[in-house]
Structure 1
Protein backbone atom coordinates (compact mmCIF):
# COMPACT_ATOMS: atom_id res chain seq x y z
CA UNK A 1 0.00 0.00 0.00
CA UNK A 2 3.00 2.30 0.25
CA UNK A 3 2.80 2.83 -3.50
CA UNK A 4 -0.60 4.47 -3.02
CA UNK A 5 1.04 7.46 -1.36
CA UNK A 6 3.17 8.04 -4.46
CA UNK A 7 0.37 7.64 -6.99
CA UNK A 8 -2.02 10.33 -8.23
CA UNK A 9 -5.75 10.00 -7.74
CA UNK A 10 -7.64 7.03 -6.37
CA UNK A 11 -7.54 3.37 -7.30
CA UNK A 12 -9.88 0.44 -7.84
CA UNK A 13 -9.34 -3.32 -7.68
CA UNK A 14 -9.17 -5.28 -10.93
CA UNK A 15 -10.46 -8.78 -11.63
CA UNK A 16 -7.09 -10.34 -10.82
CA UNK A 17 -6.82 -8.37 -7.58
CA UNK A 18 -4.51 -5.57 -8.69
CA UNK A 19 -4.79 -2.00 -7.48
CA UNK A 20 -5.20 0.22 -10.54
CA UNK A 21 -4.79 4.01 -10.61
CA UNK A 22 -6.54 5.23 -13.80
CA UNK A 23 -4.88 8.65 -13.61
CA UNK A 24 -1.42 7.31 -12.76
CA UNK A 25 -1.22 3.85 -14.31
CA UNK A 26 2.07 2.11 -15.10
CA UNK A 27 2.95 -0.44 -17.77
CA UNK A 28 3.27 -3.17 -15.16
CA UNK A 29 -0.33 -2.54 -14.10
CA UNK A 30 -1.67 -3.60 -17.51
CA UNK A 31 -2.88 -7.20 -17.48
CA UNK A 32 -4.39 -9.05 -20.43
CA UNK A 33 -6.45 -11.27 -18.15
CA UNK A 34 -8.03 -8.19 -16.58
CA UNK A 35 -8.69 -6.70 -20.01
CA UNK A 36 -10.29 -9.85 -21.43
CA UNK A 37 -12.51 -10.43 -18.39
CA UNK A 38 -13.73 -6.85 -18.15
CA UNK A 39 -14.45 -6.47 -21.87
CA UNK A 40 -16.33 -9.78 -21.87
CA UNK A 41 -18.68 -8.49 -19.18
CA UNK A 42 -19.26 -5.03 -20.69
CA UNK A 43 -21.87 -4.63 -23.40
CA UNK A 44 -21.59 -2.56 -26.51
CA UNK A 45 -24.07 0.29 -27.03
CA UNK A 46 -24.23 0.89 -23.28
CA UNK A 47 -26.48 -2.16 -23.11
CA UNK A 48 -29.00 -0.81 -25.63
CA UNK A 49 -28.85 -3.78 -27.99
CA UNK A 50 -31.32 -6.57 -28.62
CA UNK A 51 -29.22 -9.18 -26.85
CA UNK A 52 -26.00 -9.42 -24.90
CA UNK A 53 -23.10 -8.40 -27.12
CA UNK A 54 -19.82 -7.71 -25.39
CA UNK A 55 -16.95 -5.39 -26.16
CA UNK A 56 -14.78 -8.51 -26.22
CA UNK A 57 -16.90 -9.98 -29.04
CA UNK A 58 -16.76 -6.64 -30.88
CA UNK A 59 -12.97 -6.59 -30.55
CA UNK A 60 -12.53 -10.15 -31.79
CA UNK A 61 -14.87 -9.47 -34.72
CA UNK A 62 -12.88 -6.35 -35.67
CA UNK A 63 -9.62 -8.30 -35.47
CA UNK A 64 -11.00 -11.11 -37.64
CA UNK A 65 -12.13 -8.58 -40.25
CA UNK A 66 -8.72 -6.88 -40.18
CA UNK A 67 -6.91 -10.20 -40.55
CA UNK A 68 -9.06 -11.35 -43.47
CA UNK A 69 -8.78 -7.97 -45.19
CA UNK A 70 -5.10 -7.14 -44.76
CA UNK A 71 -3.20 -10.43 -44.61
CA UNK A 72 -3.57 -10.82 -48.38
CA UNK A 73 -2.26 -7.31 -49.02
CA UNK A 74 1.10 -7.56 -47.31
CA UNK A 75 3.13 -10.04 -45.30
CA UNK A 76 5.14 -7.27 -43.65
CA UNK A 77 5.38 -7.45 -39.87
CA UNK A 78 3.87 -3.97 -39.61
CA UNK A 79 0.72 -5.22 -41.36
CA UNK A 80 0.12 -7.58 -38.45
CA UNK A 81 -0.21 -4.54 -36.21
CA UNK A 82 -3.50 -3.73 -37.94
CA UNK A 83 -5.29 -6.82 -36.65
CA UNK A 84 -3.38 -6.72 -33.38
CA UNK A 85 -4.56 -3.17 -32.79
CA UNK A 86 -8.05 -4.14 -33.97
CA UNK A 87 -8.19 -6.65 -31.13
CA UNK A 88 -6.87 -4.15 -28.58
CA UNK A 89 -8.43 -0.87 -29.78
CA UNK A 90 -10.99 -0.79 -26.95
CA UNK A 91 -8.71 -2.30 -24.30
CA UNK A 92 -8.57 0.94 -22.30
CA UNK A 93 -12.29 0.49 -21.64
CA UNK A 94 -11.36 -2.33 -19.29
CA UNK A 95 -10.06 0.41 -17.00
CA UNK A 96 -12.32 3.42 -17.69
CA UNK A 97 -15.48 1.78 -19.01
CA UNK A 98 -17.22 2.22 -22.35
CA UNK A 99 -18.42 5.81 -22.28
CA UNK A 100 -21.10 6.52 -24.89
CA UNK A 101 -20.02 9.02 -27.55
CA UNK A 102 -22.22 12.00 -26.55
CA UNK A 103 -20.87 11.85 -22.99
CA UNK A 104 -17.31 11.27 -24.17
CA UNK A 105 -17.46 14.36 -26.38
CA UNK A 106 -18.75 16.31 -23.39
CA UNK A 107 -15.78 15.12 -21.35
CA UNK A 108 -13.25 15.90 -24.08
CA UNK A 109 -13.14 19.53 -23.01
CA UNK A 110 -10.29 20.44 -20.71
CA UNK A 111 -11.70 23.45 -18.88
CA UNK A 112 -14.95 24.99 -17.69
CA UNK A 113 -15.08 27.69 -20.38
CA UNK A 114 -14.71 25.30 -23.30
CA UNK A 115 -17.25 22.88 -21.86
CA UNK A 116 -19.73 25.68 -21.15
CA UNK A 117 -19.29 26.94 -24.70
CA UNK A 118 -19.81 23.44 -26.05
CA UNK A 119 -23.00 22.85 -24.08
CA UNK A 120 -24.23 26.45 -24.15
CA UNK A 121 -25.41 26.26 -20.54
CA UNK A 122 -23.95 26.19 -17.06
CA UNK A 123 -21.77 23.25 -16.12
CA UNK A 124 -21.74 21.46 -12.79
CA UNK A 125 -18.17 20.42 -12.05
CA UNK A 126 -16.70 18.11 -9.44
CA UNK A 127 -14.38 20.05 -7.14
CA UNK A 128 -14.05 22.67 -9.88
CA UNK A 129 -12.32 20.24 -12.25
CA UNK A 130 -13.26 18.86 -15.63
CA UNK A 131 -10.93 16.11 -16.76
CA UNK A 132 -10.46 15.39 -20.47
CA UNK A 133 -11.32 11.71 -20.56
CA UNK A 134 -9.78 11.31 -24.01
CA UNK A 135 -6.37 12.19 -22.56
CA UNK A 136 -6.78 9.45 -19.96
CA UNK A 137 -7.86 6.95 -22.61
CA UNK A 138 -5.00 7.90 -24.93
CA UNK A 139 -2.44 7.51 -22.16
CA UNK A 140 -3.82 4.10 -21.21
CA UNK A 141 -3.72 2.99 -24.85
CA UNK A 142 -0.09 4.11 -24.93
CA UNK A 143 0.69 1.93 -21.92
CA UNK A 144 -1.16 -0.98 -23.50
CA UNK A 145 0.84 -0.52 -26.71
CA UNK A 146 4.09 -0.48 -24.74
CA UNK A 147 3.07 -3.55 -22.74
CA UNK A 148 2.25 -5.66 -25.77
CA UNK A 149 4.74 -4.34 -28.34
CA UNK A 150 2.35 -2.34 -30.50
CA UNK A 151 3.30 0.85 -32.33
CA UNK A 152 1.91 3.97 -30.70
CA UNK A 153 -1.43 5.12 -32.06
CA UNK A 154 -4.33 3.10 -33.43
CA UNK A 155 -3.96 2.76 -37.23
CA UNK A 156 -6.44 4.58 -39.44
CA UNK A 157 -7.45 1.24 -40.95
CA UNK A 158 -8.67 0.11 -37.53
CA UNK A 159 -10.74 3.26 -37.07
CA UNK A 160 -12.40 2.56 -40.42
CA UNK A 161 -13.13 -1.05 -39.45
CA UNK A 162 -14.56 0.18 -36.15
CA UNK A 163 -16.94 2.57 -37.92
CA UNK A 164 -18.10 -0.04 -40.40
CA UNK A 165 -18.56 -2.49 -37.54
CA UNK A 166 -20.71 0.05 -35.69
CA UNK A 167 -23.04 0.24 -38.69
CA UNK A 168 -23.02 -3.57 -38.93
CA UNK A 169 -23.99 -3.80 -35.27
CA UNK A 170 -26.71 -1.19 -35.71
CA UNK A 171 -28.33 -3.30 -38.43
CA UNK A 172 -28.10 -6.56 -36.49
CA UNK A 173 -28.42 -5.58 -32.85
CA UNK A 174 -30.66 -2.51 -32.58
CA UNK A 175 -34.27 -1.68 -33.41
CA UNK A 176 -33.44 -1.07 -37.07
CA UNK A 177 -36.33 -2.18 -39.30
CA UNK A 178 -35.15 -0.89 -42.67
CA UNK A 179 -36.67 2.53 -42.07
CA UNK A 180 -35.56 4.88 -44.89
CA UNK A 181 -34.93 7.70 -42.41
CA UNK A 182 -32.96 5.60 -39.94
CA UNK A 183 -29.68 7.20 -38.85
CA UNK A 184 -27.59 4.50 -40.55
CA UNK A 185 -29.07 5.75 -43.84
CA UNK A 186 -27.96 9.32 -43.14
CA UNK A 187 -24.62 11.09 -43.34
CA UNK A 188 -21.98 10.40 -42.19
CA UNK A 189 -22.95 6.81 -41.39
CA UNK A 190 -24.37 6.08 -44.83
CA UNK A 191 -20.80 6.38 -46.12
CA UNK A 192 -19.75 3.28 -44.15
CA UNK A 193 -20.71 -0.02 -45.74
CA UNK A 194 -21.71 -2.71 -43.24
CA UNK A 195 -19.84 -5.99 -43.23
CA UNK A 196 -21.48 -9.10 -44.61
CA UNK A 197 -20.85 -11.11 -41.45
CA UNK A 198 -22.96 -12.66 -38.73
CA UNK A 199 -21.90 -11.08 -35.47
CA UNK A 200 -20.94 -13.45 -32.65
CA UNK A 201 -23.12 -13.18 -29.54
CA UNK A 202 -21.26 -15.26 -27.01
CA UNK A 203 -21.80 -15.59 -23.31
CA UNK A 204 -19.34 -13.62 -21.16
CA UNK A 205 -17.31 -16.76 -20.42
CA UNK A 206 -17.13 -17.72 -24.10
CA UNK A 207 -16.37 -14.13 -25.16
CA UNK A 208 -13.53 -13.96 -22.66
CA UNK A 209 -12.14 -17.25 -23.95
CA UNK A 210 -12.41 -16.07 -27.57
CA UNK A 211 -10.60 -12.83 -26.75
CA UNK A 212 -7.77 -14.65 -24.97
CA UNK A 213 -7.49 -17.19 -27.78
CA UNK A 214 -7.19 -14.36 -30.32
CA UNK A 215 -4.59 -12.70 -28.12
CA UNK A 216 -2.52 -15.89 -27.91
CA UNK A 217 -2.76 -16.29 -31.67
CA UNK A 218 -1.66 -12.78 -32.58
CA UNK A 219 0.60 -11.96 -29.64
CA UNK A 220 2.58 -15.22 -29.38
CA UNK A 221 5.44 -13.58 -27.47
CA UNK A 222 3.13 -12.76 -24.57
CA UNK A 223 2.00 -15.76 -22.60
CA UNK A 224 -1.07 -15.85 -20.45
CA UNK A 225 -0.42 -16.03 -16.73
CA UNK A 226 -2.74 -18.69 -15.36
CA UNK A 227 -1.92 -17.57 -11.82
CA UNK A 228 -3.51 -14.20 -12.58
CA UNK A 229 -6.93 -15.77 -13.09
CA UNK A 230 -8.72 -16.53 -9.80
CA UNK A 231 -10.75 -19.42 -11.20
CA UNK A 232 -10.42 -21.93 -14.02
CA UNK A 233 -11.79 -20.06 -17.01
CA UNK A 234 -12.32 -22.83 -19.49
CA UNK A 235 -13.70 -25.73 -17.49
CA UNK A 236 -16.48 -26.56 -19.92
CA UNK A 237 -16.24 -30.36 -20.17
Structure 2
Protein backbone atom coordinates (compact mmCIF):
# COMPACT_ATOMS: atom_id res chain seq x y z
CA UNK A 1 0.00 0.00 0.00
CA UNK A 2 1.25 3.50 -0.75
CA UNK A 3 0.77 6.45 1.60
CA UNK A 4 -0.32 8.88 -1.14
CA UNK A 5 -2.80 8.26 -3.95
CA UNK A 6 -5.16 10.11 -6.29
CA UNK A 7 -8.32 7.93 -6.18
CA UNK A 8 -10.67 10.81 -5.26
CA UNK A 9 -8.39 13.80 -5.10
CA UNK A 10 -4.79 13.96 -3.99
CA UNK A 11 -4.96 12.04 -0.70
CA UNK A 12 -2.57 11.18 2.09
CA UNK A 13 -2.80 8.47 4.76
CA UNK A 14 -2.77 9.94 8.26
CA UNK A 15 -1.23 8.46 11.39
CA UNK A 16 -4.69 7.27 12.51
CA UNK A 17 -5.06 5.23 9.32
CA UNK A 18 -7.63 7.47 7.61
CA UNK A 19 -7.19 9.15 4.26
CA UNK A 20 -6.95 12.93 4.07
CA UNK A 21 -8.29 14.41 0.81
CA UNK A 22 -6.64 17.72 -0.06
CA UNK A 23 -9.44 18.72 -2.44
CA UNK A 24 -12.19 17.88 0.05
CA UNK A 25 -10.67 17.95 3.54
CA UNK A 26 -14.07 18.30 5.23
CA UNK A 27 -15.01 14.80 4.02
CA UNK A 28 -11.89 13.30 5.61
CA UNK A 29 -12.31 11.54 8.97
CA UNK A 30 -9.30 13.17 10.64
CA UNK A 31 -9.28 13.55 14.42
CA UNK A 32 -7.46 15.83 16.85
CA UNK A 33 -4.87 13.14 17.44
CA UNK A 34 -3.89 13.40 13.75
CA UNK A 35 -3.35 17.12 14.19
CA UNK A 36 -1.35 16.70 17.40
CA UNK A 37 0.74 13.94 15.84
CA UNK A 38 1.52 15.94 12.71
CA UNK A 39 2.31 19.20 14.50
CA UNK A 40 4.55 17.47 17.02
CA UNK A 41 6.68 15.95 14.25
CA UNK A 42 7.13 19.11 12.15
CA UNK A 43 10.12 21.30 12.95
CA UNK A 44 9.67 25.05 12.64
CA UNK A 45 11.96 27.21 10.50
CA UNK A 46 12.41 24.39 7.97
CA UNK A 47 14.64 22.76 10.58
CA UNK A 48 17.12 25.65 10.46
CA UNK A 49 16.99 26.28 14.22
CA UNK A 50 19.47 25.27 16.93
CA UNK A 51 17.58 22.05 17.83
CA UNK A 52 14.32 20.32 16.95
CA UNK A 53 11.43 22.65 17.84
CA UNK A 54 7.95 21.54 16.82
CA UNK A 55 4.95 23.43 15.55
CA UNK A 56 3.00 21.78 18.41
CA UNK A 57 5.27 23.42 21.00
CA UNK A 58 4.96 26.73 19.17
CA UNK A 59 1.16 26.42 19.27
CA UNK A 60 1.29 25.76 23.01
CA UNK A 61 3.36 28.91 23.55
CA UNK A 62 1.02 31.07 21.47
CA UNK A 63 -1.90 29.64 23.46
CA UNK A 64 -0.18 30.69 26.70
CA UNK A 65 0.25 34.26 25.45
CA UNK A 66 -3.09 34.90 23.69
CA UNK A 67 -5.12 35.73 26.80
CA UNK A 68 -8.84 35.37 26.17
CA UNK A 69 -8.23 33.45 22.92
CA UNK A 70 -6.27 30.45 24.19
CA UNK A 71 -8.20 27.78 22.28
CA UNK A 72 -8.07 29.55 18.92
CA UNK A 73 -4.38 30.26 19.49
CA UNK A 74 -3.69 26.59 20.17
CA UNK A 75 -5.36 25.70 16.85
CA UNK A 76 -4.03 28.61 14.76
CA UNK A 77 -1.47 26.49 12.86
CA UNK A 78 -3.47 23.23 12.87
CA UNK A 79 -3.56 23.04 9.05
CA UNK A 80 0.22 22.56 9.10
CA UNK A 81 -0.37 19.05 10.49
CA UNK A 82 -1.47 18.07 6.98
CA UNK A 83 0.27 20.57 4.69
CA UNK A 84 3.55 21.14 6.54
CA UNK A 85 5.14 24.31 7.85
CA UNK A 86 6.12 26.21 4.72
CA UNK A 87 8.43 29.11 5.55
CA UNK A 88 6.96 32.57 5.08
CA UNK A 89 9.38 33.60 2.28
CA UNK A 90 8.61 30.44 0.27
CA UNK A 91 4.86 30.71 0.88
CA UNK A 92 4.93 34.14 -0.82
CA UNK A 93 5.99 32.36 -4.01
CA UNK A 94 3.20 29.77 -3.85
CA UNK A 95 -0.21 31.41 -4.31
CA UNK A 96 -1.92 28.03 -4.86
CA UNK A 97 -0.52 26.82 -1.57
CA UNK A 98 -2.25 29.67 0.27
CA UNK A 99 -5.57 28.65 -1.30
CA UNK A 100 -5.12 25.01 -0.31
CA UNK A 101 -4.08 26.06 3.19
CA UNK A 102 -7.25 28.15 3.56
CA UNK A 103 -9.48 25.21 2.54
CA UNK A 104 -7.74 22.82 4.93
CA UNK A 105 -7.86 25.38 7.72
CA UNK A 106 -11.58 25.98 7.19
CA UNK A 107 -12.32 22.24 7.45
CA UNK A 108 -10.33 21.97 10.68
CA UNK A 109 -11.86 25.06 12.23
CA UNK A 110 -15.37 23.85 11.38
CA UNK A 111 -14.75 20.39 12.82
CA UNK A 112 -13.27 21.67 16.08
CA UNK A 113 -15.42 24.79 16.62
CA UNK A 114 -12.59 27.26 16.20
CA UNK A 115 -14.13 30.73 15.80
CA UNK A 116 -13.43 32.51 12.53
CA UNK A 117 -12.04 34.86 11.55
CA UNK A 118 -9.08 34.58 13.89
CA UNK A 119 -8.96 37.56 16.26
CA UNK A 120 -6.14 40.02 15.60
CA UNK A 121 -4.89 39.34 19.15
CA UNK A 122 -3.80 35.87 18.01
CA UNK A 123 -1.69 37.29 15.19
CA UNK A 124 -0.11 39.68 17.69
CA UNK A 125 0.58 36.82 20.15
CA UNK A 126 2.01 34.74 17.29
CA UNK A 127 4.39 37.57 16.34
CA UNK A 128 5.49 38.05 19.97
CA UNK A 129 6.18 34.33 20.30
CA UNK A 130 7.98 34.38 16.94
CA UNK A 131 10.25 37.16 18.21
CA UNK A 132 10.98 35.24 21.41
CA UNK A 133 11.65 32.01 19.51
CA UNK A 134 14.00 33.66 17.07
CA UNK A 135 15.96 35.32 19.89
CA UNK A 136 16.36 31.94 21.59
CA UNK A 137 16.90 29.43 18.79
CA UNK A 138 18.07 31.29 15.67
CA UNK A 139 21.19 33.32 14.82
CA UNK A 140 21.18 36.78 16.51
CA UNK A 141 20.34 38.78 13.37
CA UNK A 142 17.15 36.79 12.78
CA UNK A 143 15.06 38.67 15.35
CA UNK A 144 16.15 42.22 14.43
CA UNK A 145 12.84 42.76 12.58
CA UNK A 146 10.97 42.59 15.91
CA UNK A 147 12.67 45.70 17.29
CA UNK A 148 12.12 47.55 14.02
CA UNK A 149 8.41 46.59 14.07
CA UNK A 150 7.95 47.34 17.78
CA UNK A 151 7.20 43.70 18.61
CA UNK A 152 8.05 42.82 22.20
CA UNK A 153 9.17 39.19 22.53
CA UNK A 154 6.72 37.11 24.57
CA UNK A 155 7.90 35.98 28.01
CA UNK A 156 8.16 32.33 26.94
CA UNK A 157 10.92 29.76 26.91
CA UNK A 158 11.44 27.24 24.13
CA UNK A 159 11.85 23.85 25.81
CA UNK A 160 12.63 21.75 22.71
CA UNK A 161 9.98 19.18 23.62
CA UNK A 162 10.32 15.78 22.00
CA UNK A 163 7.56 14.89 19.53
CA UNK A 164 5.98 12.57 22.12
CA UNK A 165 6.04 15.24 24.88
CA UNK A 166 4.76 17.96 22.52
CA UNK A 167 1.92 15.72 21.29
CA UNK A 168 0.91 14.83 24.85
CA UNK A 169 0.99 18.49 25.96
CA UNK A 170 -0.96 19.62 22.89
CA UNK A 171 -3.71 17.03 23.47
CA UNK A 172 -3.91 17.89 27.17
CA UNK A 173 -4.23 21.61 26.40
CA UNK A 174 -6.85 20.84 23.73
CA UNK A 175 -8.93 18.87 26.27
CA UNK A 176 -8.68 21.74 28.77
CA UNK A 177 -9.74 24.41 26.29
CA UNK A 178 -12.04 22.90 23.66
CA UNK A 179 -15.61 24.12 23.42
CA UNK A 180 -18.07 21.84 25.19
CA UNK A 181 -20.81 22.14 22.54
CA UNK A 182 -19.26 19.37 20.42
CA UNK A 183 -17.29 17.71 23.21
CA UNK A 184 -16.74 14.41 21.42
CA UNK A 185 -16.50 15.68 17.83
CA UNK A 186 -13.36 14.72 15.97
CA UNK A 187 -11.60 12.84 18.72
CA UNK A 188 -10.70 9.31 19.65
CA UNK A 189 -9.51 8.35 23.08
CA UNK A 190 -6.86 10.74 24.34
CA UNK A 191 -4.46 7.81 24.71
CA UNK A 192 -1.11 8.74 23.21
CA UNK A 193 0.83 5.87 21.66
* 1:139-184 Cα deviation digits (max 9, x unpaired): 11111111111222222111111111111110001122xxxxx352
Secondary structure of 2:110's aligned partner? helix
Q: Please, which runs of 5 or more residues in structure 2 have no aligned partner? A: 1-5
TM-score (norm 2): 0.87
Secondary structure of 1:205's aligned partner? helix
Matched, 1:171 2:135: yes
* 1:53-95 Cα deviation digits (max 9, x unpaired): 10000001110111xx33xxxxxxxxxxx21110001100111
CA distance 1:61–1:225, change in 2 (3 Å): same
Secondary structure of 1:30's aligned partner? coil
Q: CA RMSD in A?
A: 2.0
Aligned with residue 122 of structure 2, among 124, 141, 158: 158
Q: Please, which runs of 5 or more residues in structure 1 have no aligned partner? A: 71-81, 109-131, 177-181
Q: Decide which structure has the larger Cα Rg and report it.
A: 1
What CA distance in whole angstroms lies between the structure 2 residues aligned with 1:16 and 1:214?
20
What CA distance in whole angstroms lies between the structure 1 residues aligned with 2:14 and 2:37?
10
What CA distance in whole angstroms lies between the structure 2 residues aligned with 1:189 and 1:21?
41
CA distance 1:29–1:153, change in 2 (3 Å): farther
Quote how far apart the aligned CAs of 1:189 are.
5.2
Confirm or deny: 8 A CA contact 1:30 1:147 kept in the other structure.
Answer: no
Quote how far apart the aligned CAs of 1:188 are.
7.6
Give the paired residue count: 184
Quote how far apart the aligned CAs of 1:187 are.
6.8
